[in-house]
Amino acid sequence: MAEILERRRSVEVEVLAVLLVLLVIFRGRLAGVVSGAALQTWTTVFVSVLVQAVPFLVFGVLLSAVIAVFVPRSFWARALPNHPALAVPAASMAGVILPGCECGAVPIAGSLIRRGVTPAAALAFLLAAPAINPIVLTATAVAFPGNPEMVLARGLASLVVAILMGWLWLRLGRSEWIRLPRRPDLDGASKGRAFWSACRHDVVHAGGFLVIGAAAAATINVVVPEAWLQTLAAQPVLSVLALAVLAVLLSICSEADAFVAASLSQFSLTSRLAFLVVGPMVDLKLISMQAGVFGRRFAVRFAPATFVLAVLAAVGAGAVLL
């Protein structure tokens, strides 16, 4: 019975993948068929989020499968400090050398936990990797050529949030809050079969929730009036909160969000820094994916705490560096 359900789930995912690919290929023709302007906007945002996220999700799924199948558990014991409090900053700094998006970091973090890495260190990596990797920082420098301090402010604030959230999990986190979905039995299969089995499993639990998050982000883009942003930009405190919330709603991948932030010229640099720090750590698609990979009890606690720390860190870095 379990094998039948697994096969049915795999077929459903494959059909969904084909439909998404066809949607991307024929989005131009579909836009002409769709009559309503709001529906056209929704379709454009939905497809854009998927187009940005899917390549990095695939990268993360593949890397997650490599970690699950080919990397022995003993490696992580040697690579990270034994003390959990020291493993958190070490895992955070690993994000500097591993380019990736938040979409790919979620399955990687889940795989790290399965391989015996302390959850606090894996979660610190989850937050740091999409925010401080070389691709993201380079994109930020290109988007803000007249404000190179934005690169330092973004990297520093994001690193601080990742480390603090890891330590906070060590202090207050509970193991029962993380419910990783059941994995297929990889030990009895060949390396090749286990690798592809792990890939398909992660696509089910990360890719499906990515679609749900993309649909939610597209809906928000259509519903929220643009005039509200103009009003909020004139108020310093509310402008920071407005762009922080906007980052959650837009769900833009970290490799592209700097260019969006640069275009919001009516807002202060600190407000736009909050947009850049919050976005890779808390957004609709990321919350959905975290709920799918780690469980809902985890997501409803982890996301709000990360949001608050990210806003505070952005304001602090903005006050000192901008």
pLDDT at res. 290: 85
* Single-letter amino acid code for the residue at 114: R
pLDDT at res. 2: 43
pLDDT at res. 236: 86
d(CA 102, CA 255): 10
pLDDT at res. 10: 52
pLDDT at res. 1: 43
Mind listing the pLDDT tens digit of every residue in the chain (322 residues)?
444 444 555 555 555 556 666 666 665 655 555 557 777 788 887 887 777 767 776 777 777 677 767 777 667 667 788 888 999 999 898 877 765 667 767 877 887 887 778 899 989 988 998 888 887 888 889 889 989 999 999 999 999 999 999 999 999 988 778 877 555 545 556 777 778 877 776 676 666 666 776 777 777 777 767 777 677 778 889 899 988 998 898 787 787 788 888 878 888 999 999 999 999 999 888 888 888 878 888 989 999 999 999 999 999 999 999 8
* Single-letter amino acid code for the residue at 96: V
Give the three-class secondary structure for 35: coil
Instruction: Give, in degrees to the nearest 5, the angle at Cα 69 between 66 and 75.
Output: 85
d(CA 271, CA 69): 42
Describe the crossing of helices 236-250 and 269-278 by its angle, rounded to 10 degrees: 30
CA nearest to 279, candidates 158, 168, 167, 134: 158
CB of 91 within 8 A of CB of 124?
yes
CA nearest to 277, candidates 300, 257, 301, 249: 257
Estimate to the nearest angstrom the gap between the alpha carbon of 269 and the chain centroid. Answer: 23
pLDDT at res. 206: 63
The length of the chain, given as a count of residues: 322
CB of 125 within 8 A of CB of 64?
no
Burial of residue 2, with CB atoms counted within 10 A of its CB: 0-12 exposed, 13-18 middle, 19 or more buried: exposed
d(CA 57, CA 276): 20
pLDDT at res. 124: 93
pLDDT at res. 38: 75
For 211, half-sphere exposure in the C-beta direction (CA atoms, 13 angstrom radius) is 12
- Write out the two tokens for 276: 């850049």
Estimate to the nearest angstrom the gap between the alpha carbon of 181 and the chain centroid. Answer: 19
pLDDT at res. 17: 59
pLDDT at res. 176: 79
pLDDT at res. 302: 93
* Single-letter amino acid code for the residue at 281: M
pTM value surpassing 0.75? no
CB of 220 within 8 A of CB of 41?
no
CB of 206 within 8 A of CB of 57?
yes
